[in-house]
Chain A
Amino acid sequence: MLNYNSPIMETKEYPDIKISEVEPILKINLRGKNRDFVTKVGKELSIIPPVDPNTSSSNEKLNLLWLSPDEWFLYSNNKIELKDSNFLEDSLFNEISKKKLGSVTNVSDHWVKINLSGTKIFDLLSAGCPFNFSNFKNSKGAVTQTLVNHIDVIIHNKNTNELNLFVRRSFSMHLWSWLNDSARFI
C-alpha cells in the first residue's frame, strides 16, 4: 500500500495561540464565468458560489470561498475518505468541465490547511502580513488572499479567533516553521 504523508502532521500550542495542520481534506478549485456555471455549482454542492469579493458560503461539510470574479475554492471541513473525494471531484468535473461550463481541478495536495486559533492569532499574522485585518477580524466567513512572510496564502475566517490558512504544499514547511518562530514573541 502507498502511505499517506502530509508535510507537517503537528499541533503546537502557545499562550493564546494554537497552530495545527488539518489533513487530509478535500480541496477543489472551480472556475467559470457564466450564470449556468454558478447554477450548476449550486446544484451540485448545495452551496451557491458567493459573488461578493472576499466572502464565502458554507454548509456543515463544505466551504466555498470567493477567490476572484471567476474563481472559487472549495474545501471540506473534515477529513474525507478518498472514495468520497473522488466521487465529488468526478461528479463536478462531469457536470461542469465536460459540459463546457468552466473548470474543476483537484488541488487537495496543492494546498495545506493550517488551523490557527486563539486571541493572538492576528498579532501572529501581523508579524509578516501587510493585510489590514481590522474589519476581517469581525466578519465570520471573510476570505482574503494575501502574503504571510512573502508566501501566498488564502485565509478564511472560520469563527471568532479561528482561521483556516491555506498555503501551497512546497512552502508549507517553511511557513510552519516561521509561524512557530514568530509565535514565541507574540
Chain B
Amino acid sequence: MSKNLRIINSKYIDQTSRISFKFDGKTLYGFKGDTLASALLANDIHLVGRSFKYHRPRGIMACGPEEPNAIVQVGSDASMTEPNTRATEIELYEGLEASSQNCWPSVNFDIGAVNNFFSPLIPAAFYYKTFMWPANFWKLYEYFIRKSAGLGKSPTEPDKDIYDHRYLHCDVLVVGGGISGIIAAKTAAKNNFNTLLIDDKNILGGTTLFQKNECFKINNSYSNEWLKKEIENLKSLKNLTIKTRTSLAAYHSYNYLLARENLTDHLDLNEKKDKIRQRLWKIRAKKVIIATGAMERPLIFNNNDRPGIMLSSSIKKYIDYYGVKCGQQISLFTNNDSAYETAISLSNSGVSVNSVIDIRDKSNSLIVKQAEKLGIKIHWKHTVVNTNGYKKINSIEIMKLSDDGTTVVGKKMKEGCDCLGISGGWTPRVHLFTQSGGKLKFRDNDNVFLPDKSELDQISIGSCNGDFELDEVTKNSVNLINKFLKVNNNDYENLEIISSKEIDKKNIWLLPSDKPLGKTKPFLDFQNDSTANDVKLALREGFKSIEHVKRYTTTGMATDQGKLSNMHALGIIAETAGVKMGELGTTTFRPPYTPLTFGAIVGRNVGEFFDITRKTPIHDWHAKHNAEFENVGQWKRAWYYPIGNENMHEAVQRESKAARDSAGILDASTLGKIDIQGSDASEFLNRVYTNAWSKLEIGKCRYGLMLNEDGMVYDDGVTTRISENHYLMTTTTGGAANVLGKLEDYLQTEWPELDVYLTSVTDHYATVSICGPNSKKILSKVIPDLNLSDKEFPHMSFKNALIDNIKCRVMRISFTGEHSYEINIQSSYGKSLWEKCFEAGKEFNITPYGTETMHLLRAEKGFIIAGQDTDGTMTPVDLQMDWIISKKKYDFIGKRSLYRSDTIRDDRKQLVGLLTDDPKEVLEEGAQIVLETKKQPIEMLGHVTSSYFSPNLNKSIALAVVKNGKKLKGQKMFVPMKNKTINVTITDTVFLDKENKRLNA
C-alpha cells in the first residue's frame, strides 16, 4: 500500500520536517505544508469515506472547500472531536488524528454498503415515500433512520478551545488572494484606502502561485514568478492588512461580513494550548472586492464517483504545489482546455498520462498544441461510458460520441488507469455575491452564472466574474478596480501577457452511456448521493421549481451546499424540462460559505460571559451570608438565605415569619428608579399613570399603575414627590429600561410640549428595605435624629435624612403590608448602610429575606406582581383595582381602551384569591382551573398565577385569574393535576390583615 508518491519539486512542502499523524488509527507521515488530503494521497490513500445513502466507497476529489467526499472526523477526545471537516482544508500538524465518517465498522468493510446493491430500490425521496405511513409508525422508523443517517459524531463534552470575536472596519475589503485579489489589494492600499485582504489558504497566490507553463506568461516571466514578486511588494504597503487562513463565511447587506480566521488549527497539538483557536471577524467594509475565483466542475457519467476520480485541476495542484502524484497511470477526461494544463504538469513531473479523452471535436489552442507536442494521446469526440474498480478505479471504458452528443457509437475501448482527472469547465464562485443580495445573469457560451446587479458598494473581479483567461483576468480586473475605486493606477498598464485562449467549447450536462439511463449511476451530488436519474425522476413526478427538486432529491443540501453539483443539476433540469438555464435561475446560496464551528459563532460568550450579570452594591454581603441567587432579568437577586441544611421551603417559611413577627431586611436596589424634573412633571405623571397626581403633597408617596395604550397593565411602582417639580419614580426590576424608554418615547413624540426631563438613577441608589413591627425601632437606632412618629412621618411619605453625614432618602412605604421603610442611599455606601441596619436590628432578630419571601409576603396581602399576576391581557379592572383609575382625568395612556367592547366584557379573566380545601395542599403556579371535571372537553376557566404556603396564616394561599371571577366569590372549583384533582374555593385576594392595621403597628 505505502508507495511513495512524492516527487521533489515543491517549494511549498518542507520535505525536511516530517509530521506523523493518524488516519483511521493507522500512523502515517506527511510534511509541513501538507493538507490531510495531500498527505493521504502521498500515502496512496484515496478511499476516505462512504457515501451517505448507498455507502459507496468515496475518495478525495478536490483540493479546496468544495470537497464533497473527504469529510472526516478530527480528534478523538470527547470534548475536542469535530465532525464534517474537509480533509482538503485541514493543514497537517503533529499529532493530528482523523477518521472516516459514515461507515461501520470500517471504511474498507462497511455494512451499509449493502444499500448499494439495493440501490434500484432507493430512488429519490425513498425515505419520504416509504416511511410516511402509517403516521404513528414514524417513532419506530426514526430510530433506524437516525442511526444510519447523519455525518460524523458530535462531541459529548464542552469544547475546551477558546474562540473570539472582533469587529473590524476598513475602506476596502478584498476577498481572495489570487492574482486579481493581489492586484486589487495593491491598488487599493497604494491609493490610501485602508485595505484588508483575506484568503482562506495559508499562503496568498491562488492557483497562479503554481502556474509554471509556457502558455501563461507575464512580462516574459512565468505567471507564478510574476505574481510572487507582486506578493512580495505587498509587504511594504502601510494601509494593507493581510489575513490568511481566513475564510469569508457570510456577506450581509450594508457590506457587513463575517470571516473566520483559523489561528491554531495548523499548529502541533502541544502548541495549541491557551491560544484562541478561531476568531470570527465582524467586518464593516465601505467597499468590497470579491475575487474568490472559480471551481472546476466534474463531469456526469456512469460510475463517476469511484475513489481515484478527481477534479483535473486538483490533480494539478497536488503535483505542482504539494509534490504528490495522485496516481501513476493517470487518464484525463474533459470538455475544455484546462485538463491539458494538468496533462502538461504531470508529464513535466514524469507521471505518465494515458490519454486525454475530450468530448470536443478539436481544440487549436496553444495549450493543446503544447500537449500534443509532448506526445500526449488525445481521444477527440469521445466520452467515458463506465469506470471499474470498487475501492479504487482501475480502468475506464471509452466510446465515441455521436454527432449530436446524445448517444455513443462504435466500439468500446478499455483503458487501464489508477486515477482519472475530470474537468467539466469552470463555475465562478458567486456564492458571496448572491448572499449579499446580488442578482446573477447567465452567459450561454460557457454556461456560467455571473454577477449582475447589486445594491451594495461592491464588485466581483477575476474568474468569479467570468474572466477565465490570464490576459482577461489582468486587463479586466485592473479596469474594474480603477473604476470602482475611482483611481487611476497605471502599474499594470503595459503588461505583456501570453495566454492560451480557449476557442472551442462544448458542454453535455449528462454524458451518454451505452447502457440505458436506469441502469447507470451518474452521480450529481456526491455527498448526498443523488444521481442525475433522481433529478429526472423528480421532474417526471411533476416537480417543476428548482427549489422543490432540490429538496425532493436533496441535491445540493449536504454540508458542501452542492458546490460541485448545483450547475449540473440545473443543467439537467433545464434540459429535461426544455427551458433555458438563464430563465430557470439558481437555488439560493446561504451563509455560511463553509460550515462554521459553534465555537466560532458564540465566541467568548460562554461560561461566565454567557449572559450579562448585574449585581447590587450589597451583593457581596448576600453571597457571604449563604444566599441563593435568582435571575431577575440580568440581575442576580438574593432569593433566600438558607441556614444550615435548610431547603428553600424551610428558609422561606422562617424568613416570612420573622418579617411579620419582628423585622426583616430586603435588598431592593434593583428596582428601577427614574428622576423626574421639570415644570410639567405633575401633568406628565397624570398622563402616564391611571390615577391623579396633581394634588400629591410634597414629601408624599403614591402607588401608580401604568398601562399600555391597549389598556393592559404594563408596570407599577411608587412615585415620591420630592419637591414642587421633582419626583422620583420607581418601576419594577425587570421593567426599568422599558419604562424609561416608553416614557422618553411619549415625551419626544407625543408630548414634546411638556417641560419634563427623565434621568435613570437606578444604579445610583442602593435601597435597603426594613419591615416588620420592630422596623421603627431599628430605624430610630440607625437615624436617631429622624422623627418617626406616625404624625410626622406617616405611611406613604418620605424624608430627607443624613446618616453619618451621607445624604439619604427614607420612604415609609410597604410591599409586605408591614410597617416598613425603604432607605435610598448612594450606592457606594449601600453595603455599609445594610450592615449598619443589620447590626442595629440584631436585638430584634432582624432577618434578611430574599425575593421568594418578598413574593410570599405580598401575596398574603394580595398585592400583584406585574409580569407574574399580569401577562399583558389584564386591565386594572380585571385586577379588581378599579379604585386606581381616576374618573376625573380627561386622558391617560390606555384610558380609552378601558371601555372598548372587549375590555368591558363581564366574562374576562379576573384576579381572585384561591384557597384549597386542604390547607396543606399548595397549588402549582400555572395550573388550570375548571368548574366541571366530568364533561368533555373540559372548559378551562383560568389558571393559578401565584401560590405559596403562608406560615403566617398556616395555610396554602394562591392568586389566580378566573373567567368572571369577580362574581364567583365562594364558588367551589377544581384544579385537575396529573394524579389528583384539588378542590379549591374562590375568595377575596387579600388573605391577611384586611384592615391594614399592621402598616401602623
Residues of chain B within 8 A (CB-CB) of A95 are none
Nearest chain-B residue to A83 (Cβ)? B805
B677 and A149 contact, CB distance less than 8 A: no
What CA separation (Å) do A133 and B284 show in the bound complex? Answer: 12
**Which of B614, B829, B836 has a CB less than 8 Å from the CB of A174?**
B614
What CA separation (Å) do A2 and B760 show in the bound complex? Answer: 25
What CA separation (Å) do A110 and B824 show in the bound complex? Answer: 13
B167 and A126 contact, CB distance less than 8 A: yes
Q: What's the least CB distance linking B343 to chain A, in Å?
A: 48
Nearest chain-B residue to A100 (Cβ)? B679
Given known A-B contacts A97-B677, A100-B678, A169-B763, A109 and B827 have beta carbons under 8 A apart: yes
A103 and B829 contact, CB distance less than 8 A: no
- Say whether B980 faces chain A, with CB atoms less than 8 Å apart: no
Residues of chain A within 8 A (CB-CB) of B276 are 185
A1 and B804 contact, CB distance less than 8 A: yes
What CA separation (Å) do A106 and B612 show in the bound complex? Answer: 26
Residues of chain B within 8 A (CB-CB) of A88 are none
A103 and B617 contact, CB distance less than 8 A: no
A106 and B167 contact, CB distance less than 8 A: no
For window 64-111 of chain B, which residues contact chain A by CB distance below 8 Å? none
- Say whether A75 faces chain B, with CB atoms less than 8 Å apart: no
Q: What's the least CB distance linking B833 to chain A, in Å?
A: 6
Residues of chain B within 8 A (CB-CB) of A104 are 677
Interface string of A22-40 (1 = CB under 8 A from B): 0110000101100000000
- Say whether B169 faces chain A, with CB atoms less than 8 Å apart: yes
Interface string of B779-805 (1 = CB under 8 A from A): 000000000000000000000000111
What CA separation (Å) do A11 and B765 show in the bound complex? Answer: 25
- Say whether B228 faces chain A, with CB atoms less than 8 Å apart: no
**Which of B162, B284, B615, B723 has a CB less than 8 Å from the CB of A170?**
B615
For window 830-862 of chain B, which residues contact chain A by CB distance below 8 Å? 830-833, 836
A109 and B612 contact, CB distance less than 8 A: no
Q: What total of chain B residues lie within 8 Å of the partner, measured CB to CB?
A: 53
For window 25-68 of chain A, which residues contact chain B by CB distance below 8 Å? 29, 31-32
Nearest chain-A residue to B676 (Cβ)? A103
What CA separation (Å) do A182 and B608 show in the bound complex? Answer: 13
Nearest chain-A residue to B825 (Cβ)? A2
Given known A-B contacts A100-B679, A110-B764, A32 and B757 have beta carbons under 8 A apart: yes
- Say whether B616 faces chain A, with CB atoms less than 8 Å apart: yes
Residues of chain A within 8 A (CB-CB) of B612 are 149-151, 171, 174
- Say whether B153 faces chain A, with CB atoms less than 8 Å apart: no
Residues of chain A within 8 A (CB-CB) of B825 are 2
What CA separation (Å) do A23 and B808 show in the bound complex? Answer: 20
Residues of chain B within 8 A (CB-CB) of A185 are 162, 164, 276
- Say whether B121 faces chain A, with CB atoms less than 8 Å apart: no
**Which of A2, A130, A173 has a CB less than 8 Å from the CB of B832?**
A2
Residues of chain A within 8 A (CB-CB) of B169 are 132-134
- Say whether A118 faces chain B, with CB atoms less than 8 Å apart: no
What CA separation (Å) do A100 and B194 show in the bound complex? Answer: 49
B677 and A82 contact, CB distance less than 8 A: no
Residues of chain A within 8 A (CB-CB) of B723 are 98
**Which of B613, B725, B807 has a CB less than 8 Å from the CB of A100?**
B725
Interface string of A155-186 (1 = CB under 8 A from B): 00000000000001111011001100110010
Q: What's the least CB distance linking A186 to chain B, in Å?
A: 10
A109 and B614 contact, CB distance less than 8 A: no
**Which of B761, B764, B829 has a CB less than 8 Å from the CB of A2?**
B829
Residues of chain A within 8 A (CB-CB) of B833 are 2
Given known A-B contacts A6-B828, A128-B165, A177 and B608 have beta carbons under 8 A apart: yes
A interface residues, Cβ below 8 angstroms from B:
1-7, 23-24, 29, 31-32, 70, 82, 86, 97-98, 100, 102-111, 123, 126-134, 149-151, 168-171, 173-174, 177-178, 181-182, 185
| Cβ contacts A to B, 27 pairs, < 8 Å | A1-B804, A2-B832, A2-B833, A4-B829, A4-B832, A7-B615, A23-B828, A31-B759, A86-B807, A102-B678, A103-B678, A105-B675, A105-B759, A107-B764, A108-B764, A109-B827, A109-B828, A110-B760, A110-B762, A127-B166, A129-B167, A132-B169, A171-B612, A174-B612, A174-B614, A177-B609, A181-B608
B interface residues, Cβ below 8 angstroms from A:
162, 164-169, 194, 276, 282, 284, 604, 608-609, 612-617, 635, 670, 675, 677-679, 723, 725-726, 755, 757, 759-765, 803-807, 825-833, 836
Interchain residue pairs A-B with the least CB separation, the first 10: A103-B677, A103-B757, A110-B764, A170-B614, A109-B827, A31-B757, A169-B763, A3-B832, A105-B759, A2-B832
